[in-house]
Amino acid sequence: MTPNHKLLFAIVCSFFCFHTVQAQLVDKTPAAVPVAPSIFNRAPYEDPLVSGINRDASRATAYSYASTAAALENDRNKSGRYMSLNGEWDFAFYATPGEAPDQFYHAKVTGWKKINVPSNWEMQG
């Protein structure tokens, strides 16, 4: 970059750093800036760019064993340190997080449907 280009770059940068640009009409009066449509004011769980809320970081699957011999058998069910989450789970669907009962996770839930895990909840009706 030549010295002239550097100077021009510095002038342009200082202009944008120290001056605010506002929309204006032809007669130099401020223009009314429209409010963004509500479609752009999404809740985080509705935004397809959000891939997780309050989610633990991804990690590799690993199992621990009590001894090297047990690890070489490679049978996680016999390790004593493995618990399968497969089975029948209580399940309730709410369209938004605000519709879910307050602090439902503090006590055993009742009245919810049962779904089989692993599965896809959308295929469970």
Cα–Cα distance for residue pair 102/44, rounded to 1 Å: 19
Angle at 9 (CA atoms; ends 7, 13), nearest 5 degrees: 120
pLDDT value, residue 115: 92
Looking at the domain assignment, is residue 74 inside a domain?
no
How far, in Å, CA of 111 to CA of 97, rounded? 18
Residue 91: which of 113, 111, 119 has the closest Cα? Answer: 113
Instruction: Decide if 41 is inside a domain.
Output: yes
Query: Is residue 102 in a domain?
Result: yes
pLDDT at 36: 65
Tens-place pLDDT, residues 87-118: 999 999 888 888 988 888 888 888 899 999 99
Pick the closest to residue 43 from 104, 105, 99, 120 (CA basis). Answer: 99
**In the predicted model, what is the mean pLDDT of residues 60-64?**
83
Instruction: Judge whether 10 lies within some domain.
Output: yes
pLDDT, tens digit (0-9, with 9 covering 90-100), for 5-28: 665 565 655 555 555 556 677 787
CA distance 111 to 90: 9
Residue 66 covered by a domain = no
